Chains A and B, each alone.
Chain A
Amino acid sequence: MLKIDDLRVSVGGKAVLKGLSLGVNAGEVHAIMGPNGSGKSTLSYVLAGRPGYEVTGGSVRYDGQDLLALAPEERARAGVFLGFQYPVEIPGVNNVYLLKAAVNAARKHRGQPEVDAFEFLQLVRDKMKLMQMDEDFLSRGVNEGFSGGEKKRNEILQMLVLEPRLALLDETDSGLDIDALKIVARGVNTLRSAERAIVLVTHYQRLLEHIVPDCVHVLAGGRIVRSGDRSLALELEQRGYDWLTGEAA
C-alpha cells in the first residue's frame, strides 16, 4: 500500500531524512521508533503534505500513485490520515462541523452523496462512546480548551469517523496517562483490518503493549537503521537508542 524509496527531505535547507525506505502492506501495523530529532515527525508531515518540507530525492507510492504529487487535501480524500502530535486549536470551528465537512469531502471525492445528517450524528455518537468523550464536545471549537489527552482522543475520534486506509499516528501516546492511553489504543485497534494500514510513530514502547505492531523500525539520523518484530521494541526499551544511533553515524 505504501512504498517509500530512498526518501530525502530537507527542512529550512537542513537535511532531515537522508534516504529513508519503508514498505507497508494493507492489514499491517508498523511502529516507527527513534530518538528525538531523528526525523519521525518529519516523516509524518511529509507523507501528509505539510508545506515547508522540501523533498530533495526519492519517491513515495501510495496505492500505486505518486503520493508526493498530491495536495494535502487530495491525500486525505484518498484515505491518508495524520493524527497530529500537537493538534491545533481552532476556536470558532466546531467539532461536528469539521467532522461532517471532512466526511463529505471524502464522499464527494468518491462520487457519493453527502452523508445523512441523522445517521452521521448517530455514527459520531457511537464513536464518541468508544472514546469516552462527552456529548458537549461536539458543539465546542476544534480542540478548543481541550487537555492534551482530550486532543489526542479527538484525533482518534476523527480517524474512526473518517475510516482512512492509511493512518499515520504521530506520537499519539505522548502526554497520555495510562487510562487515556488504553482508550486511545482501543480506538486504534478497532480500526485494524485487512484493508487498512497503520503507522505508529512513537518514542516509547509502552503504546506497543496495547497496539501490537507487525513490524518495528528504528529511525535514526534520517534513515531506518533497523527493522524487526515486536521484540525489537522491547530491546529498545532495555538498551535505549545509543547502540543503534552509533551504527547510524
Chain B
Amino acid sequence: MSALASRILAEFEAASPAQPATAQTVGARLRAAMADGLPTGRDENWKYAALRGLEKASFRRPAPPDAVRLAGAAALLPNRVEGHCRLVFVDGYFAPSLSDAGDSGQGVTLLAPGAAPPAQAEDTRDFRYATINEAFAPNALAVEARRDAPLAIEICAVTTLTADAGAAYPRLLLRVATEASLSVVERHLSAPEVTALTNVSIEVEVAAAGKLRHVRLQQHGTRAQVVETLRATLAADARYELTQVALGSQAARITARIALAGRGAECGVHAAAIADGARVLDACVQIEHLAPQTRTRELARAIAAGRARVAFNGHIRMARGATGAESEQSLRGLLSGTDCEIDLRPQLEIYVDAVKASHGATTGKLDEQMLFYLLSRGLDPSTAQALLKWAFVEDVVTHLADRGLRREVEREIATRLGDVPPMKESA
C-alpha cells in the first residue's frame, strides 16, 4: 500500500469508532480500495493530473462548520440562479441557515454517512477517490425528480478549510424518474487562502425518457486542491446535458463516466477549462455506448496561459450492442504563451458495425488572421486577443441555459481573460 493510501486509511480508522454500523461496509470498501492502490502518474488515465498536492492534504472529515466558517462561506455565495431553490454545503456539511429549499419538498433528502452506497461499484482505480468520498462524507444529498414534478436546484459547495484541517466531501445523488425532468446547477467555491482538498462525488441516474440538465462550475480559489468523480447511467431515451466550466483551483481533476445503457439514450458534454498561473486542470471523460441508437455530442475547449496545463481525455466506447450509435467529438485547445501545455486525447473504441463516430482535436495559438482582422478594425491588441479567447470558449458557455448565470460566467471568464466586456447576445 502506498504511503498516501496508508495515511488515508489511518485517518479513516482514527475516526471510525464514532461511526455507525454501516461503516463496516464502507470501511471494508475503503480498505480494499486502498490495498489496491491509488492512481498515480503512471496510470494512463492519470498521467496529466497534478497529484502532488494530495500528498500534503489531510483527508479526514473536518469538524462541522462553526459560525466563522459559515460566515466565510456566506460571503462567497453568488447571486441566485433564477427559478432554482438553493442548497448550500460548507466543507461538505449541509448548511440549512444558508439554504433555501423552497418548494423542492419531497424531492430532496439529506442522507447520513454510508446511507448511500454507490449504485455502480466499478472497481477500477479511476474511481478510488469516490470510494474515499463515500468513507469520509459527513452526509449525502439525494435529489429525486419525479414525473409531473420537475425540479430545479442550485447546489453551492463552499470549502473554507486549510489543508491541515481536513477535506471537504460534497456528495450528491441525482435521480430523475421516468419522464421526469431535473435541472441542477452545481457551483464549487472557495476563498483564495483555502488550501484544503475538496473531493466531490456525484452519482447520476436518469430513468427512461427522463431529462437532466446539469451545470457544473468550478470556481475555487487559486490554492485549492480538487478531485471529482461523476458517474452517470442513462436508461432508454434518457437525456443528459452536462455543461462544465472549470476556472479555479491550483489543481483539479475530474473523472467522469457516463453509461448510455438504454436504447436511444443521449448525452451532451460541453466542457471548458481556462487555466493560468501554474494551475493544472485535468478531465477524463469516459462515455460508454451500451445500447442501440445511443448518441453523444462532446465538446471541449481548453485555454492555457502562463505555466498552466489543461488536459482533456475524451474516451468514447461503443460496445457490441450499440448498433446505430452516433458520436460527435470536438476537442480544441488554445495556447496563450510559450510555457503552457494542453493535452487533448480523443479516443474512440468501437466494437460494433453500423455506427457513426466523428472526432477532431486541435491545439494551437491564436489565429493570426483573426487577430489581424480585429486590429485592422481598430481594436487594441489586448482586447482583440481577449476577445478571441473569449470566442473560443463561447461554444461551451452558450449551453448555459439560464441567462443570468451565463452572464455571470461570461463576466468571470472575461475577467480572467483580461477584461473584455461581456458580449451582448444580440442587437
* Residues of A in contact with B (beta carbons under 8 Å apart): 48-51, 71-73, 75-77, 81-82, 84, 87-88, 90-94, 96-98, 101-102, 105-106, 109, 121, 124, 135, 138-139, 141-142, 158, 162
Contact = CB atoms under 8 A, between A and B. Distances in A.
Contacts, number: 92
A72 B372 contact: yes
A102 B379 contact: yes
A90 B425 contact: no
Contact of A101 (B368, B369, B379, B393): B379
B371 to A, nearest CB: 9
A162 B379 CA distance: 13
A77 B391 CA distance: 23
B367 A92 contact: no
A94 B426 contact: yes
A81 B377 CA distance: 7
B424 interface: yes
**Chain B interface size range:** 20 to 34
B381 interface: yes
Contact of B391 (A81, A82, A92): A92
29 contacts: A48-B376, A49-B375, A49-B376, A50-B372, A50-B376, A73-B375, A76-B378, A77-B378, A84-B376, A88-B370, A90-B374, A92-B390, A92-B392, A92-B393, A93-B374, A93-B388, A93-B391, A98-B374, A98-B377, A101-B377, A101-B383, A101-B387, A102-B378, A105-B377, A106-B378, A121-B427, A141-B391, A142-B373, A162-B377
A76 B377 CA distance: 6
Nearest to B375: A72
A85 B425 CA distance: 28
B388 A90 contact: yes
B426 A90 contact: no
Contacts of A50: 372, 376
A93 B390 CA distance: 8
Interface string B395-421: 100000000000000000000000000
Which 8 pairs, one residue from A and one from B, show the smallest C-beta to C-beta distance? A92-B391, A139-B426, A92-B394, A76-B378, A105-B378, A102-B377, A72-B375, A138-B427
Contact of B424 (A72, A97, A124): A97
B423 interface: yes
Nearest to A82: B376
Nearest to A105: B378
B379 A138 contact: no
Contacts of B103: none
B380 to A, nearest CB: 6
Given A90-B391, A92-B394, A138-B427, A71 B375 contact: yes
A51 B391 CA distance: 22
A124 B378 CA distance: 18
Contacts of B427: 96, 121, 124, 135, 138-139
Contacts of A98: 374, 377, 379
Interface string B109-153: 000000000000000000000000000000000000000000000
B90 to A, nearest CB: 36
Contacts of B377: 76, 98, 101-102, 105, 158, 162
A51 B378 contact: no
Nearest to B423: A97
Contacts of A82: 376
B422 to A, nearest CB: 10
A139 B425 contact: yes
Contacts of B388: 90, 93
B368 A76 contact: no
A87 B377 CA distance: 12
A41 B426 CA distance: 33
Given A73-B380, A88-B367, A94 B423 contact: yes
